[in-house]
Amino acid sequence: MNLQINQEQINETYELKLAGEVDAYTAPKLKEVMLPLTEKEGNIVVVDLSGVEYMDSTGLGIFVGALKSSKAYNSSLKLRGMTERVKRIFEITGLTEVMDIESEVKGEAL
Amino acid sequence: MDIQSCVEVRNEWDIVSARQLGRNMAKELGFGNVDQARITTAISELARNIYLYAGRGKICIEPIDQLGRKGLRIVALDNGPGIREIRKVMEDGYTTSGGLGAGLPGVKRLMDEFSIESTVDVGTEISATKWLR
Amino acid sequence: MPAKDALTERYQDLLSVYLKAKTETTLYKGQQFSRKLLEQQISPEDLVSLHIQVMDELFPDMSEEMRDSFDFLLEAMIGYGFAYREHQSLRDKQQQLESEIEVAASMQQTLLLSDVPDFDDLDIGVVSVPAKKMNGDYYNFVKSGNSLSVAVADIIGKGIPAALCMSMIKYAMDSLPDEQMKPHLLLENLNRVVEHNVHSNMFITMFHGVYEPESHKFYYAGAGHEPGFIYNAKEDQFHDLIAKGLVLGVSRTTTYHPYEKEIEIGDMVILLSDGVTECRTNKGFIEREEIVSLIRKYMDLPAQKIVENVFQELDRLQGFELRDDFTLIVLKRLV
């Protein structure tokens, strides 16, 4: 039920480091931070999910919304550092095929 | 004191002056101590709103007599930004002051009668009355 | 106000008794009295005022400072009075909303009732339980000619928005032409409807399949839905029922892959919503293997008994508190 969002910016690249849970309670907060960043052409939004222990479908919905927005505004959205559990929901829902998702840096087999 | 008295509200000290005026008039009219506190608090909230959102305005307080029934009316006036969504502002749970249960619905419950008129970019007028029991 | 005088008298009695002999009984009576005050909607500041009045009566020689301190307390209490009255108002509002939801929920029940059809060749079992009052899981059986179609969907977002979305799916499906539509094409159709109509943060996962008894083939396709299982009687093995595809509502142009499987006698097709795999026990999330072992435990029973037993066990493991809507469907080929 808690989510920390650390934001860093270098020129047009915005890095969001998330820690905690992305669920129905914390999703609005993430949306508030992430969505506006995708609404500018040329912005690069990188979201680091290595600290995310749990995400539910509401959280996933926020990423779906961000994906649609980035397509509409011509910005780019990348996700990285997902744990196995979180990656699984992106895989089952087919989002790994349409989103820019890097596998965990810690030498996880693809 | 039969005539209306007004206090200009421009800073936080003016809120205190408005409170004082209200309490004195309420005492003079014979309101009990709880009602005095309620009237004073209503004035306080309205004056605070003027101070926070409009920057300046005035609080006018007058004794009223309607067919023998005595009471006190507070009118809060300002030429501030006005309230865009009055309905929302009168809903419980919605507050910008961060206070619990305060705001306009709270003021309405402290008094017996309450009315509000507001036009965006023109100003706001709130009137509230408490009757002597 | 006669009522108030009676209260003042009562308060005075209780307070005097307490001041003379500070017993637990009197304190208890004091609390019961405050309950009465609350019933009569007496605000906190009213109670302080009551106290002042009574103290004035009992101690006419009360010190000036003591008296003043009560006035100060009264002022401070007004804030609590604000909160109290707002609370009352919000409670009323909540009760009203609750009853509206009850009505909506029972309307939904009626609108979305899906009978489990009688189908000679298959033993069908279904359990679908909402976590809250309105069910965000959707399932539908349609008998068309000799075939049986089954759909299972999970609308993302819980509560009312999800339920509204589900109604939309049902009506979209109902308005599709009667002739058997291949599962992957049906999903493509639905995807376009969903994408056009839902909020950007909503999406729907769905599985659709059609069983044809002449060929004993099960045709199916999936849109991001939690994979079910298929039980192969000959091998006595459970396998994941994979049907890859993007969730509905993300992109207008998504296409879906058609899958098919031969179903032998004794084989089972098991479909579920992610409320099943999201079950959390003391040890953490339930693993798919555990679900399989539960099904295996009851698999010789009729299909309806299987799903009910599995649900009961998982419900118990979760302390009877569902985290998400739970849907489990078993189709067993008999002949």
Quick check: A107 pLDDT over 60?
no
Q: Kindly identify which residue of chain A lies nearest to residue C156, measuring between CA atoms.
A: A57
Q: Is C318 exposed, middle or buried (0-12, 13-18, 19+ CB in 10 A)?
A: middle
Q: How far from the centroid of its chain's Cα atoms is residue C67's Cα?
A: 54
Task: Decide which of C39, C60, C88 is a domain's last residue.
Answer: C88
**pLDDT at residue B111, rounded to an integer:** 95
Range of the domain at C70: 2-88
pLDDT at B114 over 90: yes
Q: How far apart are CA C311 and CA C295, in angstroms?
A: 10
Nearest C-alpha in B relative to C46: B34
C224 chain-A contacts, CB cut-off 8 A: 92-95
Are residue C63 and residue C110 in the same domain, yes or no? Answer: no
Domain endpoint, select from C42, C57, C88: C88
Report residue A70: phi and psi, to 5°.
-65, -35
Residue C173 has a pLDDT of 74
Tell me whether A98 touches chain C (CB under 8 Å): yes
Query: Is a pLDDT exceeding 70 seen at residue A110?
Result: no
Strands B5-9 and B57-66: antiparallel
Q: Which of C22, C53, C88 is the last residue of a domain?
A: C88
Subunit contact A94:C246, Cβ cutoff 8 A: yes
Is the model's pLDDT at C333 over the cut of 90?
A: yes
Nearest to A94 among C201, C244, C285 (CB): C244
Average pLDDT estimate for C268-288: 80
Amino acid found at C216 = H
- Which chain C residue shows the shortest CA-CA distance from B41? C78
Give the integer Cα–Cα distance in Å for C303 and C310. 11
Domain co-membership, C249 together with C177? yes
Number of Cβ pairs closer than 8 Å across B and C? 49
When mean pLDDT is compared across A32-46, B21-35, B93-107, C20-34, the lowest value belongs to B93-107
Q: Do residue C113 and residue C58 come from a single domain?
A: no
Shortest alpha-carbon distance between residue B41 and chain C (Å): 8
Please state, rounded to an integer, the average pLDDT across all residues of chain C.
Answer: 86
Query: What pLDDT, on a 0 to 100 scale, did the predictor assign at position C206?
Result: 94
> What domain range is B23 assigned to?
5-131
> For tokens 């909303």, what's the residue?
C97
Q: Is the pLDDT of residue A98 over 50?
A: yes
The tally of domains found in chain C comes to 2
pLDDT band at C209 (very low <50, low <70, confident <90, very high): very high
User: Which residues 6+ apart lie within 8 Å of C330 measured at CB?
Assistant: C123, C124, C125, C126, C268, C269, C270, C295, C303, C306, C307
Determine the pLDDT at residue A108.
43
- Interface check for A69 against chain C (CB to CB < 8 A): the answer is yes
Q: Tell me the backbone φ, ψ of residue C220, rounded to 5 degrees.
A: -155, 165
- Hey, which bits of C156-227 come out as E strands? 204-212, 217-223
For residue C309, pLDDT beyond 80: yes
- Reported confidence tier of residue B98, pLDDT bands at 50, 70, 90: low
CATH number of the structural domain spanning residue B122: 3.30.565.10
Nearest to A88 by CA among C136, C226, C242: C226
**With left for phi above 0 and alpha for psi between -120 and 50, is residue C249 left, alpha or beta?**
left
Is C259 within a domain?
yes
In this complex, the residue of C45, C75, C82 whose CB is nearest that of residue B106 is: C82
Q: Are A63 and A56 in contact (CB under 8 A)?
A: no
pLDDT of residue A21: 93
The pair of three-digit structure tokens given for residue C324, joined into one six-digit string? 């998400």
Mark out chain C residues that contact chain B at CB-CB < 8 A.
1, 45-46, 48-49, 52, 71, 74-75, 78-79, 82-87, 89-90, 93
Strands C268-272 vs C284-285: parallel, antiparallel or unpaired: unpaired
Per the prediction, chain A carries an average pLDDT of: 89
Regarding whether C235 and C317 lie in a shared domain, the answer is yes
User: Does C78 share its domain with C139?
Assistant: no
Average pLDDT, chain B: 89
Give me the pLDDT at residue A106, please. 47
Residue B8 scores a pLDDT above 90: yes
Residue A104 has pLDDT above 70, yes or no: no
Q: Is residue C97 part of a domain?
A: no
CATH superfamily entry for domain A3-9+22-101: STAS domain (3.30.750.24)
Whether C11 and C153 share a structural domain: no
Cβ of C156 within 8 Å of Cβ of A57? The answer is: yes
Substitution target from A56, A57, A96, A99 for chain C, most C beta carbons within 10 A: A57
Same domain, C50 and C175: no
Give every CB contact of residue B61 below 8 A, 6+ residues apart in sequence: B4, B5, B6, B18, B21, B22, B25, B43, B72, B73, B74, B75
Q: Which residues of A touch C246 (CB under 8 A)?
A: 93-95, 97-98
Distance from CA of B40 to the nearest CA of C (A): 9
Option in C157, C203, C246 nearest A97 (CB): C246
**Please, which pLDDT band fits residue B1 given cuts at 50, 70 and 90?**
very low
The total number of structural domains in chain B stands at: 1
Cα distance between the two ends of chain C: 82
Confidence of residue C5 (pLDDT cuts 50, 70, 90): confident
Shortest Cα–Cα distance, C89 to chain B (Å): 7
- Contact at CB, A57 and C250, closer than 8 angstroms: no
**Chain A and chain B touch, per 3+ beta carbon pairs within 8 A:** no
Picking from C75, C82, C90, the nearest residue to B102 by CB comes out as: C82
% of chain B residues with pLDDT over 90: 73
Q: How far is C226 from chain A (nearest CA, A)?
A: 6
Alpha carbon of C8 to those of A26, A30, C3, C53, C63: distances in Å? 49, 54, 9, 8, 22
Chain A interface, best mutation among C154, C226, C244, C247, by max A CB count within 10 A? C247
Using DSSP, state whether A37 is helix, strand or coil. Answer: helix
Torsion angle in degrees (nearest 10) through CA of B52, B53, B54, B58: -50
E strand map for chain C = 122-129, 137-144, 147-155, 204-212, 217-223, 228-232, 237-241, 259-262, 268-272, 280-281, 284-285, 326-333
* Same-domain check for residues C191 and C219: yes
Distance from the C86 Cα atom to the nearest Cα atom in chain B, whole angstroms: 5
Is the confidence at residue C329, as pLDDT, over 60?
yes
Please answer yes or no on whether C223 and A68 come within 8 Å at the CB atom.
Answer: no
Query: B41 contacts in C (CB within 8 Å)?
Result: 75, 78
Q: What is the residue whose two structure tokens read 């998330």?
A: A18
Pick left, alpha or beta for residue B68 (phi over 0 → left; psi -120 to 50 → alpha; otherwise beta).
Answer: left
Partner residue facing C75 (CB), from B37, B93, B110: B37
Q: Nearest to residue B113, comparing CAs of B39, B15, B2?
A: B39
**pLDDT > 90? residue B122:** yes
For A64, the closest of C201, C244, C285 (CB atoms) is C201
| CATH code: domain of residue C279 | 3.60.40.10
Mark yes or no for CB contact A92/C224 under 8 Å: yes
The predicted-structure confidence for B15-68, as pLDDT tens digits, reads as follows 999 999 999 999 999 999 899 999 999 999 999 999 988 999 999 999 999 998
Pairwise CB contact (< 8 Å): B101 & C74: no
CB contact (8 A) between residue C46 and residue B34: yes
Asked if the ipTM is above 0.90, the reply is no
User: Which subunits count as partners of chain A given 3+ CB pairs below 8 Å?
Assistant: C
Contacts of A86 in chain C (CB under 8 A): none
Summarised one tens digit per residue, pLDDT across range C40-92 is 888 899 999 999 999 998 999 999 999 999 999 999 999 888 888 888 888 88
Q: Which pLDDT band, with edges at 50, 70 and 90, does C199 fall under?
A: confident
